[in-house]
Structure 1
Amino acid sequence: KIEAISEITSISGFNLLNNSAGPAYGMGFVKLKPMAQRGAVKDIESIMGTVNATLAEVKDGQVISFRMPPVDGYGVTNDVEVVLQDRMGRDPKVLKAKADELIGELMKVKGVQFAYTMFRTDFPQLELEVDEDKAKQLGVSVSSALNTLQTYLSGDQSLNFSRFGKFYRVNIKADATFRKDISDMNDIAVKNDKGEMVPINAIVKFNHVYGPESVNRYNLYNSLSLFVVPIAGVSSGDLMTRIEPILEKLPSDYTYEWTGLGLEEKSSGNQTMMILALCLLFVYLLLSAQYESYILPLAVLLSIPTGVIGAYSAVKAVGLDNNIYVQVGLIMLIGLLAKNAILIVEFAVQKRKQGESILDSAIGGAKARLRPIIMTSLAFIVGMIPLTVAHGGLATGNRSISVSAAMGMLSGVLLGVFVIPILYMLFQTLQEKVSGKKVHLQTENK
């Protein structure tokens, strides 16, 4: 019914979110048409909204649509995944009740679209109860009775053999028609210590109960996974920062762990500032060697924020978040802005060595290098324009890196031609005062 969908591949009996099998689960993979053939609705977020609205009409189950993770191998969804752990090892129903309470708190956080868990404790089950006293009276071993039930219901690999150069495995299991109802247990018998066949239902009773289909453990604790979906425009990093105060308020008998892509983002999130600091450090050391000064390179480094401010302002203005593409663009921007500043400062230093005043050398450097700076910067900005209007699956990444780099370069050029000469004058004056070296000014010959 949705025009943008090309085909759907469905799989029954498997839950991708908690990697478990069961008759109550089903999953499907939706393949979209190429962008030009999707009709009026092209954006994947809008398509998912239409899909969720359509699936909300299903009354016999809960249907959730989600995007695959941006990096394969880190989780199974694009959502923030949290593992809630019960340190006391109590009944899974207690853990589920705490998870429902926590989901209610998370839903109140600004930026959260919804939160959910696939863990349930109301699956209908059959509990096997063995009457050991009666089994002893009838001469039936409890282990033999359980092994017989296992062979009939779930199968048993009894032996292997080789014939005609091939290896064969022998699996014994009752046919499906003889194990589809509880009444089929009347046909199962087990041998006692006298060699007599005893009906299995004489020592075994089945009780109808409700409980979890499977119980997962994380760090050896009973656990379940919570998935938190951000609203459009909120990054996973911002969402983790917003929900972390609520997770920190958990009682001492509960704990939580980030997992999936969130765990990797949390563990490597502090590396961004370290990488930026290393970039600035290398630029500073290279310029210090070039200018033979530890003070003058500061004129280049302190001009870089003129572009960084423009980059972050543009990213925020167009509704993007501070993602990895923006950070890559900033690293590239640091080099380009430093290059522009070096052009002006290097020319001004040469003029100063020729005997011109600090003011004249600063103005002369800005005038002489204005044209090449504008030409190279304008070529860079124009080259980024196709990425800023990109569409498709990689549009967000292309827009992030192009908007941050292009607008950062634009603000760096517009502000830099005024800020860089001022910074040069300030640090050149400071350099001469610290070193004590005086430069003789040029005088006119009369």
Structure 2
Amino acid sequence: PMLCARYLRVKHQGQSRFERGFIRLRDWYGRSLRTMLGHRGWVYGGALLSLLAMIGLFIILPKGFIPTEDSGMIMGNLEYPQGISFAQLEKTQQAIAAAVGHNAAVQTVMSSAGQGAGAFGSGNSGRLIIRLKPLGERPSGTQVIAELRQAVSHFAGVQASFQLPPAIQMGPVSSQSNYQYILQSEDQDSLNAAAPKLVAALRKVPGLQSVNSDLQLANPEIEVHILHQRAQALGVTPEIIEQALNFAFGGTQVGTIYASTNQYEVILDLARQFQANLGALAAITVPGSAGLVPLAALAHFAYGVGPLSISHYNGLPSVTISFNLAPGVSLGSATQAVQDTAAKILPADVQGEFGGSAAAFSQSTGSLPMLLLATVALIYAILAILYEDFIHPLTILTALPLAGFGALLALWIFHQELDLFSFVGIIMLVGLVKKNGIIMVDFAIHRRREGASAVDAMVDACVTRFRPIMMTNLAAVLGILPIAIGVGAGAESRVPLGVAVAGGIIVSQFLTLYVTPAFYVLLEGWKERWRGKVSASETASHRAI
């Protein structure tokens, strides 16, 4: 009001062409509204069809969670053959980093050998952090990933996984890919047998990429079989043998040398040329009751394979299967495909559940609709308190299903997922769309108190408030349009939000101009009939008294 008093001025001049056109549009709307209120059954039928269409669109729309965005960075995880030496791993890692760096869209590559997903150390893994050129100088991140996957495919034995980092990282589980499915069992052997079968089956499922697991059972190792009776006779315990092997191959600090300006750790281990030689074990001596005893006299050695690591999740042995989504595949359809495949493959003593972002998505599919219902219930309670009436808030809220239909229809037309961001947009619509109903119903209540009929009161309200309704909705659509178009870096994740809000406002803009007045007349008629029955009942009671 202060700014209006300061800046608004009355202009005594003829109406502009735009103003004349707007007045004609407003008058046409008033006439068409009065006609539609005379045929309210068609309006109620159209509203019912919109509600059914909204439910159908909710069912068929692909479901997502947190969309990936092209932020100019790609994360690459590399898994090498089990038992590879660090020298060979480092050499291959450098070659892969060079091949990735030759891509025209890549600006810089940071390579880390021996580091797996989640920055955890691993003997047969590597990690690449790839910084891309500005978006205007390169194709999309999805296309760059396809090119990088093709460039790395000729490295034998290397499993490479590239992904755009999600806008929000969910869950503590780290893996080679964005989404995880965790297998658990009390029987380690049954778990080890089931996991490779499920991985092989998931690699055949359309829409899944970079399917792998953290189960690695073929890591080369040297088995030391202690001859217990001979060791006991020579006074050598298994703990002494374990300590000697740890000194030789583990590298143990046994002292510190203090200099005048620095200090140096003393590390005891075998020379590097002997650590890869099985014959070096025979030369190791351990202390016994009669002096030093050669280890070859106490044990025999053999080559074997074993697990690189044993993972646990919630206290049980576990195997984490990770996967990425192919372009255009929704997380909802992918998780359903994983569950269906697991139900066919897994034995009864192995259970599976999603972890990380996939687990959060499964939980959100039930919690987000409840959040929306809670929002509507809260708004109804506030409106009922403000109007001191239980009927008028229902009239105002009749616009919400139409806005939901518009939002879902826009997502379907523009091939967007119903993800977390678009659901936030639908919740925003609850607050934006109810404004139209408040503007109309509030003025109609005032006209009813002056003695106008329900139809006349609502027609006057809609015609009088037609300009502010159109202005506020147009301002909201224009404000959300840059988000819907996807302008700026990382805009892909925000596009569903903008599309949902813009579509909901546009559809509700036209439908609620007829639906809300029709429901107002209907509910006002019910209220008048109910009051008539109450008055008749009270009159009869007084006469009986």
The answer to whether TM tops 0.5 is yes
Aligned pair partner of 1:11 in 112, 124, 127: 112
Partner of 1:203: 298
Inter-partner Cα distance in structure 2 for 1:398 and 1:349: 39
SS of 1:436's partner is helix
Match of 2:310 in 1: 215
The answer on 1:55 being equivalent to 2:156 is no
Q: 1:267 and 1:345 mapped to 2: Cα distance?
A: 38
Counterpart among 453, 461, 476 of residue 365 in structure 1: 461
Q: Map of 1:299-338 to 2, 5 A cutoff?
A: 299-338=395-434
CA contact (8 A) 1:190 1:200 kept: yes
> What residue number does 1:80 align with?
179
Structure 1 gap segments, 5+ residues each: 439-446
Q: Structure 1 residues 186, 414: CA separation in 2 closer, same or farther (over 3 Å shift)?
A: same
Residues 22-77 of structure 1: CA distance to partner in whole angstroms, max 9, x if unpaired? Answer: 1x222211111111222xx2x11111111111111112422222333432463446
Q: Deviations over 1:347-399 (max 9, x none)?
A: 11211221111111122222111211111111111122222222565222221
State the secondary structure of the residue aligned to 2:163: coil
Q: What SS does structure 2 have at the residue aligned with 1:320?
A: coil
Aligned-pair CA distance for 1:408: 0.7
Choose which of 423, 428, 439 in structure 2 pairs with 1:343. Answer: 439
Distance in 1 (alpha carbons) for counterparts of 2:180 and 2:223? 32
Q: Following TM superposition, by how much is the alpha carbon of 1:243 offset from its aligned partner in structure 2, in angstroms?
A: 2.7
- Aligned position for 2:371: 275
Q: In the alignment, which residue of structure 2 is the partner of 1:106?
A: 202
What is the identity percentage for the equivalent residue pairs of Structure 1 and Structure 2? Answer: 26
- Alpha-carbon distance in structure 1 between the residues aligned to 2:300 and 2:378: 75
2:188 counterpart residue number: 89
Q: Check the 8 A contact 1:311/1:403 in 2, yes or no.
A: yes
- Whether contact under 8 Å (2:216, 2:309) holds in the other structure is no
Partners of 2:303 and 2:436 in 1: how far apart?
A: 77
Change (3 A) 1:209 1:276: same
Q: 1:28 to 1:243 in 2, by over 3 A?
A: same
- Report the secondary structure of 2:399's partner residue: coil
Q: Is the 8 A contact 2:342 2:352 kept in 1?
A: yes
Q: In structure 2, the residue corresponding to 1:304 is in which secondary structure? A: helix
Report how many aligned residue pairs link the two structures.
Answer: 430
Change (3 A) 1:300 1:317: same
Shift of 1:6: 0.9
User: Bigger relative contact order, structure 1 or 2, given CA contacts below 8 A and separation 6+?
Assistant: 2
Indicate if the aligned counterparts of 2:161 and 2:210 stay in contact, CA closer than 8 A: no
Equivalent of 2:508, from 387, 412, 417?
A: 412
CA shift in 2, pair 1:202/1:391, >3 Å: farther
Higher percent of residues as helix: 2
Instruction: Give the aligned partner of residue 57 of structure 2.
Output: none
CA contact (8 A) 2:167 2:493 kept: no
TM-score by length of 1: 0.88
What displacement does 1:269 show? 3.8
Give the alignment's Cα RMSD to 1 decimal.
2.7
Contact 1:70 1:78 in 2 (8 A): no
Q: Which residue of 2 aligns with 1:229?
A: 324
Separation (CA, whole Å) in 2 of partners of 1:272 and 1:78 = 26
**1:15-30 to 2 correspondences below 5 Å:** 15-16=116-117, 19-22=120-123, 24-30=124-130
Indicate the residue corresponding to 1:33 in structure 2. 133
Q: Give the Cα–Cα distance (whole angstroms) in 1 for the partners of residues 250 and 170 of structure 2.
A: 32
Is 106-115 or 79-88 further displaced after alignment? 106-115
Deviations 1:317-373 (A, max 9, x none): 212111111111111111110001111111112112211111111222221112111
Could you tell me the TM-score, scaled by structure 2's length? 0.73
Measured against aligned partners, the alpha-carbon deviations of 1:258-297 in whole angstroms (never above 9, x if no partner) come to 2222233333443212221122112211221232211221
CA distance in 1 between counterparts of 2:327 and 2:357 reads 18
Q: Against the structure 1 CA distance between its residues 131 and 9, is the aligned structure 2 distance closer, same or farther, given a 3 Å change threshold? A: same
Cα displacement string for residues 101-124 of structure 1 (whole angstroms, at most 9, x for unaligned residues): 223443455543453224222222
Aligned equivalents of 1:110, 1:352: Cα separation in 2: 61
Instruction: For residue 223 of structure 1, report the CA deviation from its aligned partner.
Output: 1.5
The question of whether the paired residues in 1 share the 8 Å contact of 2:440 and 2:462 is answered with yes
Structure 2 unaligned segments of length 5 or more: list them. Answer: 1-101, 535-545
Alignment correspondent of 1:399: 495
